[in-house]
């Protein structure tokens, strides 16, 4: 469902998720469906039907319940006056929401139950915040349309009213598509709500973690949930030297100095951002440290295993949760014995349950989110010193492993380390020694390591790489199942033996099953790079075979005082059209320049600088022939070449030599 509120026109569109029936209501001087609309809402209440929306809890559902509560006097007004009153309330609601004030109707008070796919997917989080238009772009929706008529426009004609209705229907149908993608997540939340008697229908993953941890800890401590939720530990200062684990020690000057640097740090818990930055140069690699994590990587290249050498990958199992469990840490306002026992229970229970079981996923959420909630003032787990214990000691412990491997394995070469693991190129003959070092580290830290090996590691930097595992032998049934589920992996048959090699893409090389809030622009580039390194297909050949125009598309956003325009360049005087806030486009041989113009100071920013022209593709109209799109292949090939040149230091004309 979706509402459109204009100054003298109100449109409501509903689509039944099973039958597909559309219910459209207009309240304006052209048509007054107000009584029918309220009857419809009351039927929803009587039948206990749910409303499924995008950001409905903060907007549409507020309007729904305002109308239900005030129908008795609203019905006496003229249609345009009713629409005007609803409009005023809608603007007031938006203002409250923007100011983060309490809204009139909390979810628990609503008489029509709500499923809000915006909240459920945590797209209200600042790091993931996404409008419906952006999600439409991300899921390759056919029509990305901004509201075509400004909300302050007086609606006078049926044509205007129909334009708004068509727009609203498009939003409803895209919301339906998001709902279908979210059904398994919703089903899980419905089951959890029933099991724990807590409304988790629209809960984000961190909120699920918070609520379930509260539920179990409340039982364990025999403290009411509401009382537990009020607890916090506030700190005036955090002295890092007081929280470093006693087993922490180093042998090399570089890491000894690192430890001393950490010991000098005193933190203001209210302002930790950027409070500590330090870099260590060791074995030809710069490793960067902060308060949140550690990362370092060798120069960009393709690192390979062979008959003599192997890339070892070692990750700490559930690193942050186990640091707390093994060292008996808890937020100071919670008894550590009870907290750690419960935390460990989640960890051990998860290990017993297969990944296909949804409770495995729930326990994973709880384990991973608890650390983050310790740094969230809105969470009952808040204690910033607990957060720092985990992150500081996590970095130092991992660096102990790094130093041990580097000093004790002859010719060991460090490729990468990041937060919870290290990748190292060693001679195969030293694998037993490597494993002994890891075992020794596990004994010192009481943590566990998981190991794997890579066939290749295609490294741009620590956050952007492609990993190809060494081939693993499986039976035929497993091999076929893997092939069906992961067509991007490598598969090999040798007689009656079956092998597969998994692949992992990180950062800008990700292209498969991207989360919808992420930017999927120019997927053709990571796909071409992947196919080159994994399957040996030259980029120009891959681009000839990939004729999915949406893989070439780019998403552009404008916010605040910035207006996007399409500027037509011609021999006559140039002219331009205003564009909507979010636009889908691709690079074409002919077309126009998309430019962001600041309405206050008239600054201009080209979305694609230089000679490149763009074609707007908000309406994804499929063309009969590929050539009709007029895609500028050079643009995409140049981008691929730039990435390859960064990694292997050669241009596209030399690729056949490398391959």
The CATH number of residue 482's host domain is 3.90.1600.10
Cα–Cα distances in angstroms (integers) from residue 191 to residues 111, 201, 309, 616, in the given order? 21, 9, 49, 43
| pLDDT tens, position by position, 63-78 | 999 999 999 999 999 9
**Quick one: 310 and 434 in the same domain?**
yes
In angstroms, the CA 138 to CA 130 distance is: 10
In angstroms, the CA 30 to CA 161 distance is: 8
Residue 224: inside a domain, yes or no?
A: no
Query: Is 133 a residue whose pLDDT tops 70?
Result: yes
**Quick one: 544 and 619 in the same domain?**
yes
Where a domain ends, among 158, 193, 228?
193
**Quick one: 473 and 563 in the same domain?**
no
Instruction: Please report the pLDDT score of residue 571 as a whole number.
Output: 56
Share of the chain above pLDDT 90, in %: 90
- Phi/psi at 469 (nearest 5 deg)? -70, 160
Taking CA 461 as the corner, what is the angle to CA 458 and CA 465, rounded to the nearest 5 degrees? 35
In angstroms, the CA 370 to CA 323 distance is: 12
In angstroms, the CA 37 to CA 27 distance is: 9
> 């201009």: which residue's tokens?
604
Q: Mean pLDDT throughout 171-187?
A: 96
Instruction: Please report the pLDDT score of residue 28 as a whole number.
Output: 97
Query: Is 304 a residue whose pLDDT tops 60?
Result: yes
Contact between 569 and 545 (Cβ < 8 Å): no
Query: Is 59 a residue whose pLDDT tops 80?
Result: yes
In angstroms, the CA 25 to CA 20 distance is: 16
In angstroms, the CA 42 to CA 57 distance is: 18
**Quick one: 253 and 383 in the same domain?**
yes
Instruction: Please report the pLDDT score of residue 214 as a whole number.
Output: 92
Q: Which of these, 127, 378, 399, 385, lies nearest to 255 by C-alpha position? A: 399
Long-range contacts of 34-41 (CB under 8 A, 24+ apart): 34/74, 34/75, 34/79, 34/82, 35/75, 37/12, 37/67, 38/67, 38/68, 38/71, 38/75, 40/14, 41/67, 41/68, 41/112
In angstroms, the CA 421 to CA 417 distance is: 6
**Quick one: 9 and 156 in the same domain?**
yes
Instruction: Please report the pLDDT score of residue 659 as a whole number.
Output: 43
In angstroms, the CA 621 to CA 583 distance is: 15
* DSSP string over 418-468: ESSEEEEEEEGGGHHHHHHHHHHHHHHH---EEEEEEEEEEEEETTEEEEE
Per residue in 442-457, is it b (16+ CB within 10 Å) or e — as a string? eebbebebeebebbbb
**Quick one: 323 and 416 in the same domain?**
yes
How many structural domains are present in the chain?
A: 3
Burial of 64 (0-12, 13-18, 19+ CB in 10 A): buried
What's the token pair of residue 632?
A: 């500028």
Q: Mean pLDDT throughout 396-420?
A: 96
Pairing verdict, β 490-494 and 114-116: unpaired
| pLDDT tens, position by position, 349-400 | 998 988 888 888 888 888 888 888 999 998 999 999 999 999 999 999 999 9
Burial of 97 (0-12, 13-18, 19+ CB in 10 A): middle
Q: Which of these, 450, 366, 357, 363, lies nearest to 401 by C-alpha position? A: 450
The interaxial angle of helices 319-326 and 336-352, nearest 10 deg, is 140
Q: How far apart are the first and last CA of the chain?
A: 53
Contact between 58 and 102 (Cβ < 8 Å): no
In angstroms, the CA 467 to CA 458 distance is: 6
Residue 403: inside a domain, yes or no?
A: yes
* DSSP string over 459-480: EEETTEEEEEEPPEEE-HHHHH
Instruction: Please report the pLDDT score of residue 651 as a whole number.
Output: 57
Residue 516: inside a domain, yes or no?
A: no
Instruction: Please report the pLDDT score of residue 570 as a whole number.
Output: 65
Where residue 110 sits, what CATH number does that domain have? Answer: 3.30.420
Q: Mean pLDDT throughout 48-59?
A: 98
Instruction: Band the pLDDT of 273: cuts 50, 70, 90.
Output: confident
| pLDDT tens, position by position, 431-450 | 999 999 999 999 999 999 99
| pLDDT tens, position by position, 232-255 | 999 999 999 999 999 999 999 999
Q: What is the pTM of this model?
A: 0.91
The interaxial angle of helices 358-373 and 336-352, nearest 10 deg, is 150
Q: 3-state SS of 210-276?
A: HHHHHHHHHHHHCCCHHHHHCCCCCCCCEEHHHCCCCCCCCCCHHHHHHHHHHHCCEECCCCCCCCC
Residue 417 pairs with which residues in a beta bridge?
296, 422
Query: Is 7 a residue whose pLDDT tops 90?
Result: yes
Where a domain ends, among 193, 226, 256?
193
Residue 19: inside a domain, yes or no?
A: yes
Cα–Cα distances in angstroms (integers) from residue 499 to residues 195, 283, 308, 457, 512, in the given order? 42, 35, 21, 19, 22
**Quick one: 360 and 486 in the same domain?**
yes
In angstroms, the CA 369 to CA 167 distance is: 38
In angstroms, the CA 622 to CA 26 distance is: 33
Taking CA 85 as the corner, what is the angle to CA 145 and CA 91, rounded to the nearest 5 degrees? 50
Where a domain ends, among 465, 491, 509?
509
The interaxial angle of helices 60-74 and 79-98, nearest 10 deg, is 140
Ranges 26-40, 63-77, 258-272, 353-367: which has the least confidence: 353-367
In angstroms, the CA 451 to CA 314 distance is: 5
- Phi/psi at 303 (nearest 5 deg)? -100, 130
**Quick one: 546 and 492 in the same domain?**
no
Residue 219: inside a domain, yes or no?
A: no
Report the run of H or E that residue 130 belongs to, with start and end: none
**Quick one: 336 and 404 in the same domain?**
yes
| In 47-182, alpha helices (H) | 60-74, 79-98, 117-120, 132-138, 158-181
**Quick one: 400 and 479 in the same domain?**
yes
Taking CA 11 as the corner, what is the angle to CA 5 and CA 17, rounded to the nearest 5 degrees? 120
Residue 527: inside a domain, yes or no?
A: no
Contact between 608 and 552 (Cβ < 8 Å): no
Residue 378: inside a domain, yes or no?
A: yes
> 């020694």: which residue's tokens?
433
**Quick one: 480 and 589 in the same domain?**
no
Q: Which of these, 493, 457, 424, 455, lies nearest to 307 by C-alpha position? A: 455
Instruction: Please report the pLDDT score of residue 654 as a whole number.
Output: 54
* DSSP string over 486-515: -TTSEEEEETTEEEEE-EEEEGGG--SS--
Query: Is 658 a residue whose pLDDT tops 50?
Result: no
Q: Which of these, 446, 196, 221, lies nearest to 339 by C-alpha position? A: 221
In angstroms, the CA 89 to CA 396 distance is: 54
Instruction: Band the pLDDT of 588: cuts 50, 70, 90.
Output: very high
> Coil, helix or strand for 593?
strand
In angstroms, the CA 320 to CA 342 distance is: 15
Cα–Cα distances in angstroms (integers) from residue 265 to residues 50, 75, 130, 132, in the given order? 53, 65, 37, 43
Query: Is 572 a residue whose pLDDT tops 80?
Result: no
Q: Which domain holds residue 650?
A: 537-658
Side-chain half-sphere CA neighbours of 490 within 13 A: 22
Query: Is 215 a residue whose pLDDT tops 50?
Result: yes
Residue 456: inside a domain, yes or no?
A: yes
251 Cβ contact list (under 8 Å, min separation 6): 403, 407
Query: Is 552 a residue whose pLDDT tops 50?
Result: yes
**Quick one: 343 and 379 in the same domain?**
yes
């Amino acid at each position: 469902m979706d509402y459109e509120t204009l100054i003298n026109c109100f449109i409501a569109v509903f689509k039944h998720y099973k039958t597909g029936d559309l219910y459209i209501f207009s309240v304006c001087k052209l048509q007054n469906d107000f009584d029918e609309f309220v009857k419809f809402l009351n039927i929803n209440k009587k039948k206990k039907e749910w409303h499924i929306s995008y950001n409905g809890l903060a907007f549409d559902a507020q309007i729904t319940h305002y109308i239900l509560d005030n129908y008795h006097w609203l019905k006496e007004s003229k249609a345009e006056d009713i629409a005007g009153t609803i409009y005023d309330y809608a603007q007031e609601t938006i203002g409250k929401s923007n100011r983060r004030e309490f809204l009139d109707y909390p979810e628990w008070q609503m008489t029509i139950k709500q499923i809000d796919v915006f909240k459920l997917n945590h797209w209200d989080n600042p790091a993931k915040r996404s409008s419906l238009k952006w999600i439409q772009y991300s899921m390759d929706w056919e029509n990305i349309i901004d509201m075509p008529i400004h909300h302050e426009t007086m609606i006078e004609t049926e044509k205007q009213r129909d334009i708004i209705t068509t727009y609203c229907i498009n939003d409803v149908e895209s919301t339906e598509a998001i709902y279908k993608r979210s059904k398994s997540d919703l089903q899980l939340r419905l089951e959890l709500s029933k099991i724990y008697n807590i409304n988790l229908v629209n809960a984000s993953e961190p909120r699920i973690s918070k609520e379930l941890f509260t539920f179990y800890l409340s039982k364990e401590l025999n403290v009411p949930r509401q009382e537990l939720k009020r607890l916090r530990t506030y700190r005036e200062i955090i002295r890092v030297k007081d929280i470093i684990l006693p087993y922490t020690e180093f042998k090399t000057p570089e890491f000894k100095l690192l430890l001393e640097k950490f010991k000098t740090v005193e933190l203001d818990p209210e302002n930790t951002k950027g409070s500590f930055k330090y870099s260590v140069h060791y074995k030809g690699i710069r490793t960067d440290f902060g308060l949140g994590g550690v990362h370092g990587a060798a120069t960009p290249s393709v690192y390979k295993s062979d008959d003599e050498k192997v890339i070892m990958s070692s990750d700490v199992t559930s690193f942050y949760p186990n640091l707390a469990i093994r060292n008996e840490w808890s937020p100071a306002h919670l008894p550590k014995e009870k907290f750690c026992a419960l935390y460990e229970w989640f960890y051990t229970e998860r290990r017993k349950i297969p990944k296909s079981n949804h409770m495995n996923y729930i326990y994973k959420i709880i384990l991973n989110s608890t650390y983050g909630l310790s740094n969230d003032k809105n969470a009952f787990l808040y204690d910033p010193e607990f957060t720092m214990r985990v992150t500081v000691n996590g970095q130092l412990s991992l660096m102990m492993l790094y130093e041990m491997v580097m000093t004790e394995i002859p010719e060991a070469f460090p490729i990468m380390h990041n937060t919870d693991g290290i990748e190292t190129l060693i001679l195969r003959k030293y694998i037993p020694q490597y494993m002994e070092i890891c075992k020794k580290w596990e004994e010192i830290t009481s943590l566990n390591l998981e190991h794997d090996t890579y066939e290749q590691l295609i490294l741009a930097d620590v956050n952007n790489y492609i990993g190809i595992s060494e081939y693993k032998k499986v039976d035929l049934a497993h091999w076929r199942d893997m092939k069906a589920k992961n067509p991007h992996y490598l598969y090999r048959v040798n007689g009656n033996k079956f092998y597969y090699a998994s692949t992992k893409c990180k950062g800008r090389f990700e292209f498969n099953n991207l989360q919808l809030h992420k930017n999927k622009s120019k997927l053709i580039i990571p796909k071409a790079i992947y196919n080159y390194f994994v399957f040996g297909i030259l980029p120009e050949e891959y681009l000839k075979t990939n004729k999915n125009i949406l893989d070439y598309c780019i998403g552009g956003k404008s916010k605040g005082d910035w207006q996007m325009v399409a500027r037509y360049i011609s021999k006559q005087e140039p002219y331009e059209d205003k564009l909507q806030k979010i636009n889908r486009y691709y690079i074409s041989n002919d077309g126009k320049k998309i430019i962001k113009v600041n309405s206050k100071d008239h600054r201009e920013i080209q979305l694609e600088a230089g000679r490149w022209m763009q074609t707007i593709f908000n309406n994804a109209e499929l063309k009969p022939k590929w050539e009709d799109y007029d895609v500028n292949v050079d643009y995409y090939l140049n981008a691929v070449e730039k990435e390859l040149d960064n990694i292997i230091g050669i241009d596209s004309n030399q690729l056949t030599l490398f391959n």
